[in-house]
Structure 1
């Protein structure tokens, strides 16, 4: 009689372990219309902002391995002006999560993501291990809220910017960015 609870517990435990193992070894999720980008785990420790979404793109589609991080920063933007200058892009796009050593390649440009205006800027980035990377920082706003995106890797800046903006413009990402900015 006492064996049944032990057997039931063993079955439940084995089922849970099997499910966890299957989940961990499942293929990463690819996103609509752009199989080049695969969602990965958010790689950064918790800070004052919620974790966002992280993605990786391979050499064939992005000209080098590229990672892209996107997240909202609610209540962090100038409510009257939005993102209007390169200094603000430098401050808010999370470059400091990658490295303290970065230098802009050129003045930024105006950009729109998910119907939000802002700026985009390219950077040289020296990683903590000393390897050089390129980074693309994007900061857009709606009312007093900010959405930031940071792509980095070994691809050429122009190619990385093209690939990142094309991915961020997909309907799936546009829906996610809009929902994230509405707090959903």
Structure 2
């Protein structure tokens, strides 16, 4: 019977700590919103819930940007796919980006706009590619698929918005190279 008060206090403390951690992760950090070279506001990135059903991979992190520099609204979803990459070549071509970058989570109906481009995020190399997509509501949206690798592991991101492909890609990559995201991606790629 003496254990119940201890259990209740421990549960309340854990709840308070996790609530504080969630608030801290959602609120944009002032130092990470400024472009260090130009001092411009990058936009208001806010962490949102992972909105896709469970599949064979764990849910990742999701963000929404509302600033004018984000083309009026962009969402970015990023997650690791451990053990899902060609260990010798990494992300070598556009077909692999098409296959792994989670674009199909946004819509099954996507068409590449152009050949992809090589990209480097933290210590991971890979490719990025832009797609035009036709959602069921008939509106036009642009989607950017990003797939980078380290050893035999993938980190994938998909960004979508109503703006043009170049602006959506620029905003998504700016988010992914922030200090906080780089730390999280490195930890996620190590399975932590």
8 A contact 2:32–2:179 mirrored in 1: no
Pairing of 1:22-101 with structure 2 (within 5 A): 28-31=26-29, 32-34=31-33, 36-101=44-109
- Give the whole-Å Cα distance in 2 for the aligned partners of 1:179 and 1:58: 27
Decide which structure has greater strand share. Answer: 1
Runs (4+) of structure 1 moved beyond 3 Å? none
Residues 1:108 and 2:116 aligned together: yes
Larger Rg, first or second structure (1 or 2): 1
- Please report how far the alpha carbon of residue 168 of structure 1 lies from its aligned counterpart in structure 2 after TM superposition: 0.6
Aligned equivalent of 2:133: 125
- Give the whole-Å Cα distance in 1 for the aligned partners of 2:159 and 2:67: 14
Aligned equivalent of 1:169: 177
Aligned equivalent of 1:7: none
So what's the TM-score if we normalise by structure 1?
Answer: 0.83
- Give the whole-Å Cα distance in 2 for the aligned partners of 1:60 and 1:110: 27
Aligned equivalent of 2:38: none
- Please report how far the alpha carbon of residue 59 of structure 1 lies from its aligned counterpart in structure 2 after TM superposition: 4.5
Aligned equivalent of 1:181: 189
Question: Aligned to 1:145, which of 127, 136, 153?
Answer: 153
8 A contact 1:36–1:61 mirrored in 2: no
- Give the whole-Å Cα distance in 2 for the aligned partners of 1:125 and 1:64: 18
Aligned equivalent of 1:135: 143
Size of the alignment, in residue pairs?
166
- Please report how far the alpha carbon of residue 127 of structure 1 lies from its aligned counterpart in structure 2 after TM superposition: 1.3
So what's the TM-score if we normalise by structure 2?
Answer: 0.80
Gaps of 5+ in 1: 1-14
